[in-house]
Structure 1
Amino acid sequence: MPDTRINELVRMWIDGWIVSRGSSDPIEEPWGWTIDVGQPMQVARHVLPEPTEADVRKIVAATSAPGTWLKLFAEDHSVLPWVGQGWRKDRPGFLMAGHLEPERTEVPAGYTLTSWTRGGVSKVLVRTGDGHFAARGQIARVGDQAVVDQIETAAEHRRKGLGGLVMRTLQNTAYEAGARTGVLVGTPEGRGLYSSLGWTTYSPMASLWYEPADAAQ
């Protein structure tokens, strides 16, 4: 039977992601959604919450444009045999969700935090005392839901609580604006942080893009 919760969470993620990235509205397909992203390395993405071999092979057969991405909510090993040559594997992701509640935040000594909101997207920037980049992130609110995006901490500033600071600040901003449910797709490195903040993993996500050998030259 279809997993309605996964489908619902994936659609939440898409709705917030397109606001966060300024992409086109999603086009509904029998197997999921297509999004025109419009970047040289990511022209479009096909999102399949419940990928089947038949659907993936059909999309792959119709793909000729480098920079076409597949976001397949399944384990890498189960979908890789379906794509063939020219498809390259990105890091796996994890679909996660959490209930948003106000959180206490404290900026560690030696850092400053700046936050702002434009067009429904709130951003947080953490810098050192002398202005060097340390961490960042953003969150896009759509109604009572919010999607966390582009969380990043500079290598030399990791394990100092900055990722948690960014997340809590973004969650508080979204909560104050009326959001109560948060959704994200996290990297393997970020999954531990989000889990420690109370987020739950619902599905793995395989991420693939099309780059035939002649396009990479």
Structure 2
Amino acid sequence: MTVTTAAVPDRAAIGGLVRAWIDGWVVSRGTSDPMDRPWGWTIDAGQVHHVSRHVLPVPAEDDVRGLVAATRAPGTWLKLFADDDTVRPWLGEGWQFDKPGFLMSVPLAAERPEVPAGYTLTSWTRGGVSRVLVRTAEGHFAARGQIAPTGSTAVADQIETASGHQRRGLGSLVMRTLQNTAHAAGATTGILVGTPEGRSLYTSLGWQTHAPMASLHFTPATD
């Protein structure tokens, strides 16, 4: 009888990818520098509903339970690189799940995507972040995205296609344009955390999934 064993993720490699994702994400969002913790990193985002986040690349039950017990401030987020069902028993009251994410990467190469008929593309770089905007011929918003190169890696972020313009190749246009920009800046690997909806697009463009990510925030009930 042959027994097949599921592949065990390389947690050291995952930790390196998560740190690279953080380094690009803080540039993309203009947050505080990541603060080292024994279990990962803390980042101050400074927004009303996203005050800070704790990122755990290899979440352990005791660490998560400790963070949950110590949290009092609404707008505190946990980013745990495990699936929702694994971390669910470790939580307490007031913790709400957001959409799960998927840590993904791709080797970067030169890209020359064509803009579909009826659309225009604008791109610019400011503060180390490159952005892409796709509009209709009339100027209406259709799609967008941004990428932050930080050395050999670049983090794609806030990829969005308007509901009336989906399935027209605009997501691919945005991603390939961003990948080309990051490659031209010297990055060799693209990294992102994609939503379940975005994962199929990224996979079709050659991105590889490395780990799931549970995303949750503390929103206690009010009387």
Question: After TM superposition, is the score higher than 0.5?
Answer: yes
Q: Give the alignment partner of residue 106 of structure 1, picking from 110, 114, 130.
A: 114
Q: What does 1:116-131 align with in structure 2 at a 5 Å threshold?
A: 116-131=124-139
Matched, 1:37 2:45: yes
> Which segments of 5 or more consecutive residues in structure 1 lack a partner in the other structure?
none
Matched, 1:178 2:165: no
Q: Distance in 1 between matches of 2:81 and 2:65?
A: 15
Equivalence for 1:50: 58
Q: What does 1:1-217 align with in structure 2 at a 5 Å threshold?
A: 3-214=11-222
Q: Deviations over 1:133-156 (max 9, x none)?
A: 000000001012100000000011
Q: Distance in 2 between matches of 1:164 and 1:153?
A: 10
Q: Secondary structure at the match of 1:112?
A: strand
Q: Distance in 2 between matches of 1:104 and 1:197?
A: 14
Identity between Structure 1 and Structure 2 (%): 69
Q: Distance in 2 between matches of 1:157 and 1:81?
A: 39
Q: Distance in 2 between matches of 1:200 and 1:144?
A: 17
- AA aligned to 2:199 is R
Q: Distance in 2 between matches of 1:49 and 1:24?
A: 19
How many residue pairs get aligned? The number is 215
Q: Distance in 2 between matches of 1:180 and 1:98?
A: 9
- AA aligned to 1:139 is I
Q: Distance in 2 between matches of 1:202 and 1:144?
A: 18
Q: Secondary structure at the match of 1:148?
A: strand
Equivalence for 2:3: none
- AA aligned to 1:195 is T
Q: Secondary structure at the match of 1:140?
A: strand
Q: Deviations over 1:159-190 (max 9, x none)?
A: 00000000000000011111111100000000
Q: Distance in 2 between matches of 1:40 and 1:82?
A: 25
Equivalence for 2:5: none
Once superposed, which parts of structure 1, at least 4 consecutive aligned residues long, lie more than 3 Å away?
A: none
Give how far 1:104 is off.
Answer: 2.4
> Which segments of 5 or more consecutive residues in structure 2 lack a partner in the other structure?
1-7
Q: Distance in 2 between matches of 1:80 and 1:27?
A: 25
**TM-score (ref. length: structure 2):** 0.95
